[in-house]
Amino acid sequence: MAYETIEVRPVTPRIGAEIGKVQLRELSNRQLEEIHTALLEHQVIFFRDQQLDLDSQKAFGRHFGELHTHPGAPGAPGHPEVMPVHADAKSTYIAGESWHSDVSCDPEPPMGSILHLRVVPPVGGDTLFASMYAAYEALSPRMKAYVEGLTATHDGEPYYRGRYTDKGVDDRGKIYPRAVHPVVRTHPETKRKALYVNRMFTTRINEVSRDESEAILGYLVEHCAKPEFQMRFRWQQDSVAFWDNRCVQHLALWDYFPQVRSGFRVTVKGDKPV
Ligand code: SIN
């Protein structure tokens, strides 16, 4: 489709595009349609200079589906579906430091995430995004045949348990999500195949022995992180990134300690991977 109401500038041939000529607070139906098309085409899209408060960020997210509430991280005051993403000199960890697709341990993992940064460090704090279409397509025909039909367990427990105590969360007695998903999923809208295992949540390939699972999973998560499937986004104050968790993994770099990096993420519900 030709874009008539937005500007779309690809960042790499495989993944990512910067979108211009829009204010996310005030979108026409045609702009929304074109933003949706650009997301499907480029997998992660970026907007600069967006003055969004939490209500307008949520309203933007709701154009794409119902909002998802994080199973572990506390929401912003009065906005349970908004996840603060914040790091400063007192932080001992940051959100998303290893490759992942958001909350892939959910039985119906989020389709997309919309992150708006209001404070950025003078340098650093980039986010890396990797195309899982490209990762799947680069597998050898023999490896494609091997992984086709396999399922993997994605478990929130090892990653989330105790993680948010510094934010006042007591998770004793809480049960974190755990789900079984296909190793190769078909994107429900584009119908393209994408690898769907990640370092943060995937614990086991189910149809093979533990040894074999470790070896194959190790190979696949290394493969997914190859530079040729990636792009790197350099944030500015009031940049927004909108990524499609069904075909993208991402990793946040913490190379800016003790500087502040701060913003909010709104996450849109998705469906069961097939
Ligand atoms: C995340 O949602 O995983 C955090 C991404 C980021 O802070 O760049």
The answer to whether residue 273 is domain-embedded is: no
CA dihedral 117, 198, 256, 56 (to 10 degrees): 10
What is the domain range of residue 105?
7-268
Chain centre to alpha carbon of residue 113: 6
- For 109-133, write each residue's pLDDT tens digit: 999 999 999 999 999 999 999 999 9
- For 56-101, write each residue's pLDDT tens digit: 999 999 999 999 999 999 999 999 999 999 999 999 999 999 999 9
- For 183-229, write each residue's pLDDT tens digit: 999 999 999 999 999 999 999 999 999 999 999 999 999 999 999 99
CA of 115 to the centre of ligand 1 (A): 7
The answer to whether residue 2 is domain-embedded is: no
Query: Which amino acid belongs to residue 235?
Result: W
Q: Which atom of ligand 1 is nearest to the CA of 241?
A: 8
62 is catalytic: no
The answer to whether residue 246 is domain-embedded is: yes
CA of 96 to the centre of ligand 1 (A): 5
The answer to whether residue 274 is domain-embedded is: no
**Number of structural domains found in the chain:** 1
Catalytic residue among 102, 106, 155, 244: 102
102 is catalytic: yes
CA of 112 to the centre of ligand 1 (A): 12
Q: How confident is the model at residue 28 (pLDDT cuts 50, 70, 90)?
A: very high
Three-class SS state of 70: coil
Q: How confident is the model at residue 2 (pLDDT cuts 50, 70, 90)?
A: confident
Check which CATH number belongs to the domain holding 155 and give it.
3.60.130.10
Mean pLDDT of 42-58: 97
